Amino acid sequence: MSRQHAPLLRWYRRVRRDLPWRRDPTPYRVWVSEIMLQQTTVATVIPYYEKFLARFPDIRALADSTEDDVLKHWAGLGYYSRARNLRKAAQQMAGVFPTDYDAILALPGVGRYTAGAIGSIAFQKPWPLVDGNVARVFSRLFGLKGRAKDPAFLKSLWPRAEALVHKTAPGDWNQALMELGATVCTPDSPSCGACPLASQCVAFKKGLQDELPLPEKARAPVPLKWDCLWIESGGKVLLWKRDDSDRLLKNLWGLPEKGRVDARPAKRLATPTHSITHHALRVELRAAVLKKGSSLPDATKWVSRPRLTDYLVSSLWLKLLNAST
């Protein structure tokens, strides 16, 4: 038993947030929530999670779905490979969630962190986990110099997480660490006065809460420009499926880019900007008409206006639809 266990667990059990995936932590529910929470905030995830679980309540429902249906329920959450991997993994499970560490880790889209979260929360296995929140708490609690998003620093924390994980309440322990990082030991101005670990915290004792973890290196966004076309005929709009080689939104339906179809661009409709991952994307959308006699590539589809949002799942397209209709 480490000296952090009792105060942190007591605190967590008293103040934990009532989140939908905590109410009935089956492996399936924990897994879906953890995948959604990668790169996305709790507040954003909650409505998506509830809608997703209503449509795909279990492994079989997800395995039997179409990719388009899953993507539609993911629309706006970004990082769409997460949704594809969920479906792919559900198909591999044949209705039963694996319980073995290596089998969970082998699921598409599941890394060491997610395997630790599923095992500890849903199966009560004493598996550790380290994410950005845990890295920040450890950095301050133990006075460790590192950047909370630096993969090498995160890697160096795993043995510590492993040594610390609670053997009989690993799910509560891991969630308590993450909860502390999310609500008390926050990136800016941590609430040390409300922290159950303050009396043991190196950063607090030395007044280094604002120095640790070390500041992240700023990463300049990569500028990118797309020239997109709005081609409409008889109430239907031409869509184009971006291919595997795309840097962004690959394998997703979008509006065709200039040069992908044989069309004549005309009036400019909108020029929104949009950030995707670390890209600063600028889109110029023009109305266009297909050239006479031109043939369309395979990866295109005419879709009626009311059904456009079934296909255009990225929030970029929703921005464009609002600007152009």
Catalytic residue positions, numbered: 34
Q: Which stretch binds ligand SF4 (CB under 6 A): 111-119, 136-144, 232-240, 248-256?
A: 136-144
Pick from 204, 230, 240, 253: which binds ligand SF4 (CB under 6 A)? 204
CB of 321 to ligand SF4, least distance (A): 43
CB of 40 to ligand SF4, least distance (A): 23
Q: Which is nearer to ligand SF4, 111 or 215 (CB)?
A: 215
Of 160, 128, 154, which is closest to residue 142 (Cα–Cα)? 160
Residue 201 in contact with ligand SF4, rule: CB under 6 A: yes
Residue 203 in contact with ligand SF4, rule: CB under 6 A: yes
8 Å CB contact between 84 and 67: yes
Binding positions for ligand SF4, 139-158, rule CB under 6 A: 140-141
d(CA 115, CA 315): 29
Q: Which is nearer to ligand SF4, 103 or 192 (CB)?
A: 192
Residue 185 in contact with ligand SF4, rule: CB under 6 A: yes
d(CA 307, CA 310): 5
Of 259, 241, 243, 257, which is closest to residue 320 (Cα–Cα)? 257
d(CA 57, CA 174): 25
Q: Which is nearer to ligand SF4, 168 or 191 (CB)?
A: 191
CB of 1 to ligand SF4, least distance (A): 19
Number of residues engaging ligand SF4 in binding (CB under 6 A):
14
For tokens 């044989």, the residue is 262
d(CA 261, CA 291): 9
Residue 126 Cα to chain centre, angstroms: 25
Residue 242 in contact with ligand SF4, rule: CB under 6 A: no
C-alpha distance from residue 212 to each of 146, 185, 206 (Å)? 8, 11, 11
d(CA 172, CA 134): 14
CB of 193 to ligand SF4, least distance (A): 8
Residue 134 corresponds to which tokens in the numbers above?
Answer: 């845990």
8 Å CB contact between 57 and 66: no
- Bridge partners of residue 303, in order along the sequence: 237
CB of 140 to ligand SF4, least distance (A): 4
d(CA 113, CA 175): 12
Q: Which is nearer to ligand SF4, 87 or 166 (CB)?
A: 166
Pick from 190, 213, 254, 256: which binds ligand SF4 (CB under 6 A)? 190
Q: Which is nearer to ligand SF4, 205 or 268 (CB)?
A: 205
Residue 192 in contact with ligand SF4, rule: CB under 6 A: yes
Pick from 117, 184, 261, 316: which binds ligand SF4 (CB under 6 A)? 184
The helix-helix angle for 27-37 and 42-55 (nearest 10°) equals: 140
Residue 195 in contact with ligand SF4, rule: CB under 6 A: yes
Residues of this chain that bind ligand SF4 (CB under 6 A): 137, 140-141, 184-185, 190, 192, 195, 197-198, 201, 203-204, 209
